[in-house]
Amino acid sequence: MLALCLVFVASLLTLPAGAAQPRPIVVIDPGHDLHANSATEPIGPGSSTRKIKDGGGTRGVVSGLTEAELNMRVALRVRKLLEAAGIRVAMTRARTSGTSMGNVARARIANRAGAALFLRIHADGSTDPRARGTHTLHPAPRPGWTDDVYASSKRAARIVQTEMVGALGFPDRGLQERADFTGFNWADVPVILAEMGFMTNPTEDRQLSTPAYQRRAAIGLCRGTLRFLGRPPARGG
Ligand SMILES: [Zn+2]
């Protein structure tokens, strides 16, 4: 499937001058950071309900890899693939070295960039080691907060979920609507949160800790993003 992304790049390069579309920008948000952040922030603009900025994410039950670092490894691959396909990319963070900035700050980066998609990359954790599979979260419609980005976010979630399941081969846990995600409620652009797999499941953790599976995840995220942006990879690659 990398071939499909690459064939598309080749087809872009052969476009006649002047035929290129304006280049959209995608903001990639590798979830979490080296340290959690227990400070609180409002779950939406003007809200008196507050949640902690970042609980810190999960960790590979076999690999010991932190979720923050797995998210980063995949995000850097997605950036490379999207840039090769002519998409501009901005990152909320480019290294795993500090205290998590929290979700309002992440959303503001995407808003200021005018992102065509705010792509949040995460992996899941559960107290049940049997829990496994890929799912994608998107905002619930909340008047004044997310009603304007609900439909586009849901469409993006559906497409990216399909491509991720195809690329990773993990069970399809479908989509989930969330009204309580700070990073969704503050977003003024289409936003999704991809949960690639479960780091608390020994099989998925072992797989996701390998470069081969990180590449698969990145290809699925890249293909889904390109399809959402109406720039599908070329056929037959
Ligand atoms: Zn996470």
Per residue in 165-181, pLDDT tens? 999 999 999 999 999 99
Please tell me the distance between residue 127's alpha carbon and the centre of ligand 1 in angstroms: 15
Q: Please say whether the beta carbons of 151 and 83 come within 8 A.
A: no
What local confidence, expressed as pLDDT, does residue 236 receive? 37
Please tell me the distance between residue 228's alpha carbon and the centre of ligand 1 in angstroms: 23
Query: Among candidates 32, 190, 25, 179, which has minimal Cα distance to 105?
Result: 32
Query: Could you tell me the pTM of the whole model?
Result: 0.91
Please tell me the distance between residue 81's alpha carbon and the centre of ligand 1 in angstroms: 22
Beta 191-198 vs 25-30: how paired, if at all? Answer: unpaired
Please tell me the distance between residue 232's alpha carbon and the centre of ligand 1 in angstroms: 28
Query: Among candidates 217, 234, 229, which has minimal Cα distance to 78?
Result: 217
Q: Mind listing the pLDDT tens digit for each residue in 126-160?
A: 999 999 999 999 999 999 999 999 999 999 999 99
pLDDT at 184 over 60: yes
pLDDT at 8 over 60: no
What local confidence, expressed as pLDDT, does residue 171 receive? 98
Residue 230, Cβ neighbours under 10 Å: how many?
9
State both tokens at 234: 């070329």
Please tell me the distance between residue 124's alpha carbon and the centre of ligand 1 in angstroms: 6
Distance CA 110, CA 119 (A): 9
Beta 172-178 vs 88-91: how paired, if at all? Answer: unpaired
Output the CA–CA distances (angstroms, integers) from residue 226 to 24, 52, 117, 131, 204, in the order listed.
10, 33, 10, 29, 26
Please tell me the distance between residue 177's alpha carbon and the centre of ligand 1 in angstroms: 16
What local confidence, expressed as pLDDT, does residue 110 receive? 98
The rounded mean pLDDT for the chain is 92
Q: Mind listing the pLDDT tens digit for each residue in 31-89?
A: 999 999 999 999 999 999 999 999 999 999 999 999 999 999 999 999 999 999 999 99
Q: Indicate the pLDDT class of residue 22, thresholds 50, 70 and 90.
A: confident
Averaged over 99-103, what is the pLDDT? 97
Q: What is the DSSP letter of 173?
A: E
Q: Mind listing the pLDDT tens digit for each residue in 104-134?
A: 999 999 999 999 999 999 999 999 999 999 9
Distance of CA 139 to the CA centre of its chain: 13
pLDDT at 11 over 90: no
**Proportion of the chain above pLDDT 90, given as a percent:** 87
Please tell me the distance between residue 183's alpha carbon and the centre of ligand 1 in angstroms: 12
